[in-house]
Amino acid sequence: MEIRSMYEGLKDNDSSCEDDIIAFKLVLSENETIARQWKFIEGEGMIINAIKDNRHVIVSFNKPMVERISSRIEKYKHIGSPKGYQAIERIEPYTAKEKRAPSLNRYIEKQQNEHPIDVQIMLLSHLDEALQTKILTKLKEKIQQINGEIQGQPYQLSNGTAIIRAVVPQSRIDDLANDNAIYRIEQTALFLV
């Protein structure tokens, strides 16, 4: 559970939100659930962005919290307090491979040649509007830098989570997936009528 070293690795990923938030995956102990630990996680200053299953949750917090949370984990390791950390088995980076939808991974594996892919890029949920706007601006710039084309205007899901659609080179998808502000990338489903 070494947050400082994971944070240092994330800083190098040219994240569109590098100055604002950091996202990680918390893995709870075998007999724990997110529902039982929700209050503790939020009380420690972490924002729950997504629940993968009963034991895996994507959380984020702002940069000033890195030292505080790291110190509290070290304190728990040495004196067993705060006790809520006993429910956390480990803290891991949220990797580009995990952010790509399984169907997108299968599609990429089957492709023999390099060609652009139409994708939808979903930001982390529960970001405030100003931060989301800042991230979308930087993400649009990043898409253009990797020779991608933005398709229409970003839109929001009913819970306020922003999505941007773009056509990007297949080999550059992980440049986007490695971005700390990204929750998921999936191939755009196109239907012919």
- Do 98-187 and 3-94 have the same topology in CATH? yes
**C-alpha distances in angstroms, 172 versus 1, 76, 107, 125?**
30, 40, 15, 23
Cα–Cα distance measured from residue 145 to residue 167, given in angstroms and rounded to the nearest whole number: 13
pLDDT of residue 170: 92
**How do the pLDDT tens digits run along the chain, 193 residues long?**
465 556 555 555 555 666 678 888 999 999 899 999 999 999 988 999 999 998 999 998 887 787 788 788 878 778 877 778 888 888 888 999 999 999 999 988 888 778 899 999 999 999 888 889 999 999 999 999 999 999 999 999 999 999 999 999 999 999 999 988 999 999 998 765 5
Residues facing 122 on adjacent strands: 163, 184
pLDDT of residue 79: 82
pLDDT of residue 1: 44
CATH code 3.30.70.80 for 3-94: yes
Residue from 76, 36, 81 nearest 55 by CA? 36
Amino acid symbol at 92: E
What residues contact residue 85 under an 8 Å CB cut-off, 6+ apart? 72, 73, 76
Q: Kindly report the pTM of this predicted structure.
A: 0.86
pLDDT of residue 15: 58
pLDDT of residue 21: 81
Contact criterion met (CB below 8 Å) for 166 and 150: yes
Domain boundaries, the chain: 3-94, 98-187
**C-alpha distances in angstroms, 68 versus 39, 82, 87, 161, 165?**
18, 12, 18, 27, 36
CATH architecture of structural domain 98-187: 2-Layer Sandwich (3.30)
pLDDT of residue 11: 56
**C-alpha distances in angstroms, 118 versus 10, 12, 63, 121, 164?**
26, 27, 32, 10, 11
pLDDT of residue 168: 96
pLDDT of residue 154: 95
Contact criterion met (CB below 8 Å) for 58 and 183: yes
